[in-house]
Amino acid sequence: MAKIIRTNFPDWSASVPVLPKTGPRRQALYGELRRMIEAGTLPPGAKLPTTRDLARRFSLSRGAAVAAYDMLVADGFAEARIGAGTYVASVVPVIETPPPLRRNTVQREPPPLPGVLGSSTADQRTLQIFRGLLNRHLAKPSIRHFHYNEPAGGQDLRDEIAAYLRAARGVQCTGDQVIVTAGTQHGIDLVIRTLLKSGDPVWVEEPCYPAARAAFQAAGMRLIGVPVDAEGIDPAAGIRLGPQARAAYVTPSHQFPFGVTLSMPRRLALIAWAEQQDAYIIEDDYDSEFRYAGPPLTSLQGIDGQGRVIYVGTFSKALMPGLRIGYLVAPWALRDALLDTRRLSDRFPPTLAEEALAEFLRDGHFAAHIKRARRRLRLARDMLVSALADGGLEVSTPEQGLHLVAGLPPGLSDLALSDPALTDLALTDLALAADAARSGFGVRALSPMYLGPPARQGLIIGFSGFPAEEIARAARRWLETKPFRPEF
């Protein structure tokens, strides 16, 4: 004869559906009992079955049944009466059912296209070495990983960065002046929040790196666009336009976007202005490692004897943006103030990546990586220049960096700049950049990089981040559909 299972309600079992065989069954039991209570199937004051009965009926552990009841009691749907059992609450809470989840309509970032700026190219040898370093430091982790780090970063990495900058860039510094950041943009933000206040006038190059310009604008700076020519930014023009500026943001070794180098007379004039006005120069040396004709030029900081230059750089271009490690070389007078600002927003850099990178630099792996990268990038640059020239764009071969500027064929830029009827096209280079993206070629327009009315149009095209053949192929594919003529 079958054993009879007794419950408090003769028809109770028929009201409860079979629980799923997989997943968190405790949560499922709680959900079904709550549904029945909210629907009135189990009325207020009704006694609930024992946890032993529930466990046996649904093949649960008794602990799971007890936990489901505890959740009902905690949420106000049930009451536990000592020595009497568990009952539906006399007053059941009314909880509005949230609306059903809608499909996420947030626009996702499209994948990068050949020609995009700011990418690095994977180097299998580098990845293999760096992975080994990370694994070793993770297998035998330093005690530093389990405590808060110094806001400036670990001493080993700062010393290695300082040694590298002294040898490769002529930067005059010790490891104690280096502050490890999450990239160039982070370093610029630290300087802005430490030294400047809303409304301060600041020189920026005209045209200028858009992300840096956006950082100054977001902080309320009054930007003064100082013209750039073949010798770089013109300090004399800056003095005429804004002699009382509190800071100047410059890319002297490889101006972005034009790629020109700041001449020595102008470097000296810029430093003299900063000293006279008690201003500071923010030197962004974003891609100095990649010079294809001769050694990299000495940094502006290296000829500054007055502590007026704040040097910022990054490993994003040389290694990978995902590493999120950059650096700032602070004049001694500003070091403590910059570190105080750092403590407020980001207490310290990641120690695991720090230790691996310090060893990577110390053992010569970084220097070897840069040599391999230069060979790949030189090939990509030459193939891209050839493809663009064959397609009718005006381009010269850059001697440094990871991008080039392609001028528009004669007639195109003149037409857009002189004909007001074409302003709704947002200038020809913007229209061409959008068209290139649709064909799978990720170029940027030059004209939006001006603070004021654009004096020149063109296309900014990167040659890193993808194999040389892929970048050239993307350029040719787009240009095959563009018979560049003045009547375009």
User: Region 288-317: what's the mean pLDDT?
Assistant: 88
Is residue 397 within 8 Å of residue 381, measured between CB atoms?
A: yes
Q: How confident is the model at residue 235 (pLDDT cuts 50, 70, 90)?
A: very high
Kindly tell me if the per-residue pLDDT of 418 is higher than 50: no
- The mean predicted confidence, pLDDT, of the chain is 86
The answer to whether residue 35 scores a pLDDT higher than 90 is: no
Please choose, from the candidates 292, 175, 180, 191, the residue with its C-alpha nearest in 3D space to the C-alpha of residue 250: 191
Nearest of 138, 215, 150, 145 to residue 176 by alpha carbon? 150
pLDDT for 419 beyond 50 = no
Of 385, 373, 375, nearest in space to 461 by CA: 385
The pLDDT value recorded for residue 423 is 44
Give, to the nearest 10 degrees, the angle between helix 124-139 and helix 351-362.
120
Can you tell me the mean pLDDT for 324-333? 94
pLDDT at residue 487 in the model:
42
- Residues 19-23 have a mean pLDDT of 64
> What domains sit in the chain, N to C, each tagged with a CATH number?
12-88 (1.10.10.10), 150-348 (3.40.640.10), 368-479 (3.90.1150.10)
CA gap 57, 35 in Å, rounded:
19
Query: What's the pLDDT band for 279 if we cut at 50, 70, 90?
Result: very high
At residue 483, the pLDDT reads: 56
What are the pLDDT digits (tens) for 424-464? 444 588 888 988 999 999 999 999 999 989 988 899 999 99
Categorize the per-residue pLDDT at 485 as very low, low, confident or very high, splitting at 50, 70 and 90. very low
> Residue 470: which pLDDT band, with cuts at 50, 70 and 90?
very high
* pLDDT tens digits, 50-104: 888 878 877 778 888 888 888 888 888 888 888 888 888 888 887 776 677 666 6
Higher pLDDT: 383 or 485? It is 383
Whether residue 19 has pLDDT greater than 70:
no
Q: How far apart are CA 72 and CA 179, in angstroms?
A: 53
d(CA 170, CA 300): 9
Residues 393-422, mean pLDDT to the nearest whole number: 72
Mean pLDDT throughout 213-242? 95
pLDDT of the residue at 37:
84
pLDDT of 25 = 72
Query: Taking 50 as the threshold, does the pLDDT of residue 4 lie above it?
Result: no
- Omega within 30 of 0 (cis) for the link into 207: yes
Mean pLDDT of 222-241: 96
How crowded is residue 138: how many other Cβ atoms within 10 Å of its Cβ? 12
Q: What is the pLDDT of residue 125?
A: 93
Per-residue pLDDT tens over the stretch 182-223: 999 999 999 999 999 999 999 999 999 999 999 999 999 999
Q: What is the rounded average pLDDT of the residues 307-325?
A: 91
- pLDDT above 90 coverage of the chain, percent: 52
pTM: 0.78
345 DSSP β-pair partners: none
Three-state SS letters, the chain:
CCCCCCCCCCCHHHHCCCCCCCCCHHHHHHHHHHHHHHHCCCCCCCECCCHHHHHHHCCCCHHHHHHHHHHHHHCCCEEEECCCEEEECCCCCCCCCCCCCCCCCCCCCCCCCCCCCCCCCCCHHHHHHHHHHHHHHHHCCCHHHHCCCCCCCCHHHHHHHHHHHHHHHCCCCCHHHEEEECCHHHHHHHHHHHHCCCCCEEEEEECCCHHHHHHHHHCCCEEEEEEEECCEECHHHHHHHCCCCCEEEECCCCCCCCCCCCCHHHHHHHHHHHHHHCCEEEEECCCCCCECCCCCCCCCHHHCCCCCEEEEEECCCCCCHHHCCEEEECCHHHHHHHHHHHHHHCCCCCHHHHHHHHHHHHCCHHHHHHHHHHHHHHHHHHHHHHHHHHCCCEECCCCECCEEEEECCCCHHHHHHHCHHHHHHCCHHHHHHHHHHHCCCCCEECHHHCCCCCCCCCEEEECCCCCHHHHHHHHHHHHCCCCCCCCC
Residues in CB range of 417: below 8 A, 6 or more apart = 427, 454, 457
pLDDT computed for residue 5 by the predictor: 39
According to the model, what pLDDT value does residue 358 have?
94
Residue 424 is predicted with a pLDDT of 42
